[in-house]
Amino acid sequence: MFSQSREFSVSLPVTITQRNGSCVASISADDLSFVDNGNALPIMRLTSAKQAPVRYVVLIDTSGSMRLNEKMLSSTLAMIADFIVSDLRPDKDQAAVITFGEDPALLQPFTSDPTLLRKALTSVHTFRGGTALYETVVNAARYAAGENKRGDPFRLIEILISDGSDNASRYSRDVGTAMAAWHGATVYGIRLSTSEPGYKEARTMGEIAEATGGEFFRIASGKDLARALDTIRQARDCSFLVEYSPPKLEAAKTYKVRIEASAHPEWKIVAPREYLVPKIERFKQKK
């Protein structure tokens, strides 16, 4: 996620837990080391998810290949609606709903209204056409960034429900996920058991999630989905936004990142592997 005040900076999400999965009680920027393209850089600011607003974007694949999932998808979306409505903090967090086949459609713009969110998440019925999965992941992140008019840090969580196929994106998987990471998106992939068998597609969703610091779930029952949503909630509660100022940013260049806590081997750190600076960004470099 790019922000610019007096100096430009990059803000990336990171989840930090104990090895048993519980949140770390106290963390400061001094506990972490940050490496960007081989350069060790100081952390300017470390913001807890409890302080930052959260933006959920639910991405629902409505391409023709998802037709077999229609019945299970309906119950899945009802549970996700309950999760999001109960999870949103009033006057702080918001959620949006996007459906996609070959093109994304904004079914519900960002809101905290539970009635509007439930209506959007229970009105998905049409399944046809191809799938632009990678492109939708990027466009959802762009949409969230564009709605952040004040430029304040926020935690962006994409819940992606798909069978994992893509036959219509302009971007490759790696380019798409790296661009989404630039906008601060963490992707949690959900693949329903009613999808046609597809090892490649399942692996694709897993790689999208892992590359952005998220997780992939295969769902066969309501219990599976409940566990997945609990995992997303726990990761959100244990997450931080790491803000730093790189010496230089070049458009259309990929930056590999690594966050470590060498003094705390008992911590588990999950973060994006890399981000790609879009060509449309322009930067005023520091002198």
* Cβ atoms 244, 42 nearer than 8 A: yes
> What CA–CA distance (Å, rounded) separates 188 from 228?
9
> 198 vs 132, which has greater pLDDT?
132
Whether 63 and 179 map to the same domain: the answer is yes
| DSSP assignment of 128-151 | -S---HHHHHHHHHHHHHHH-TT-
**286, part of any domain:** no
Model confidence pLDDT, tens digit, residues 54-96: 999 999 999 998 988 888 999 999 999 999 999 999 899 999 9
Regarding pTM above 0.85, the answer is yes
Find the domain containing 213 and state its range.
Answer: 54-237
Are 128 and 253 in the same domain?
no
**Are residue 36 and residue 62 in the same domain, yes or no?**
no
Q: How many distinct structural domains can be found in the chain?
A: 2
Whether residues 250 and 204 share a domain: the answer is no
Tokens matching residue 105: 């459609």
* pLDDT classification of 247: cutoffs 50, 70, 90: confident
Q: Residue 281 — pLDDT band, cuts 50, 70, 90? A: very low
**97 and 16 fall within a common domain:** no
So what's the pLDDT on residue 250?
A: 87
Average pLDDT along the chain: 91
CATH number of the CATH domain containing 226: 3.40.50.410
| Whether residue 202 sits in one domain with residue 96 | yes
- What does the pLDDT average to over 39-65? 93
